[in-house]
Amino acid sequence: MFLLLLAYLGGALTILSPCILPVLPFVFARADRPFSRSGLPMLAGMALTFAAVATLAAVAGGWAVAANQFGRLAAIVLLAFFGLTLLFPGLSDWMTRPLVRLGNRLSNTVANETAGASVLPSLLLGVATGLLWAPCAGPVLGLILTGAALGGASLGTTLLLLAYAAGAATSLALALLVGGWVFAAMKRSLGAGEWIRRGLGVAVLAGVAVIALGLDTGVLTQVSLASTAPLEQSLVDKLKPETSPPSAVLPPDGSGIARSDNATMAAEPVAARSETLPVEGTLPSLAGATEWLNSPPLTADQLKGKVVLIDFWTYSCINCLRSLPYVRAWAEKYKDQGLVVIGVHAPEFAFEKQVGNVRKAVGDLGITYPVAIDNNYAIWRAFNNNYWPAHYFVDARGRIRYHHFGEGEYDRSEAVIQQLLSEAGKQVSAGTVSVAAAGAEAASEGSDVLSPETYIGIERAENFVSPGGEVAGMPHSYQPGSPRLNEWGLRGDWTIGGEQAGLNGSGGGIVYRFHARDLHLVLGPGLDGKPVRFRVTLDGAAPGDSHGADTGADGRGVVTDQRLYQLVRQTGPIADQTFEITFEDAGVQAYAFTFG
> pLDDT tens digit string along 63-96?
444 444 555 566 556 556 656 655 665 555 555 5
Cβ 128 vs Cβ 80: under 8 Å: no
Residue 40 confidence (pLDDT): 79
Q: State the DSSP H helix or E strand holding residue 534, giving kind and residue range, or none if neither.
A: strand 532-538
10 Å CB burial of residue 69 (0-12, 13-18, 19+) is middle
User: Do the Cβ atoms of 440 and 321 come closer than 8 Å?
Assistant: yes
pLDDT value of position 111: 36
Whole-number pLDDT of residue 512: 98
**C-alpha separations of 451 from 103, 352, 573 in Å:** 58, 25, 16
Say which CATH class 281-441 falls into: alpha beta
If you write DSSP's letter for every residue of 494-522 in order, what string do you get?
EEE-SS-EEE-STT-EEEEEE-SSEEEEE
What is the structure's pLDDT at 270? 40
Cα–Cα distance for residue pair 137/14, rounded to 1 Å: 8
Cα 343 off chain centre by: 24
> Contacts from 459-466 at CB under 8 Å and sequence distance 24+?
459/142, 459/145, 459/146, 459/498, 459/499, 460/249, 460/499, 461/496, 463/487, 463/488, 464/488, 464/489, 465/489, 466/490
> Residue 47's pLDDT is what?
75
Q: Which amino acid is at 252?
A: P
Burial class (CB in 10 A: 0-12, 13-18, 19+), 238: exposed
Cβ-contact 568, 579 below 8 angstroms: yes
Rounded to whole angstroms, the Cα distance separating 117 from 248 reads 50
Spatial separation of the C-alpha atoms in residues 413 and 418, rounded to whole Å: 9
Q: Longest C-alpha distance within the chain, in Å?
A: 96
In angstroms, what CA-CA distances link 580 with 172, 433, 519, 577? 45, 38, 11, 10
pLDDT at position 89 is: 57
Going by C-beta distance under 8 Å and a sequence separation of 6 or more, which residues neighbour residue 209? none
Q: Which ranges of 61-138 does DSSP label H, i.e. alpha helix?
A: 62-87, 89-107, 120-131
Cis peptide before 389 (omega within 30 of 0): yes
Q: Which of 520, 452, 523, 447 is CA-nearest to residue 485? A: 452
Q: What is the pLDDT of residue 361?
A: 96
What's the confidence (pLDDT) of residue 176? 67
pLDDT at 169: 76
Average pLDDT, the chain: 76
Q: 440 with 549: CB under 8 angstroms?
A: yes
Tell me which architecture the domain covering 446-595 has in CATH. Answer: Sandwich (2.60)
Alpha carbon distance 57, 51 (integer Å): 10
Report the pLDDT value the prediction gives residue 212, as an integer from 0 to 100: 56
Give the chain's residues under pLDDT 70.
1-3, 6-7, 10-11, 13-33, 50, 53-119, 121, 129-158, 176, 179-275
d(C-alpha 282, C-alpha 230), whole Å: 38
CB-based burial label for 305 (10 Å; 0-12, 13-18, 19+): exposed
Residue 233 in contact with residue 240, Cβ under 8 Å? no
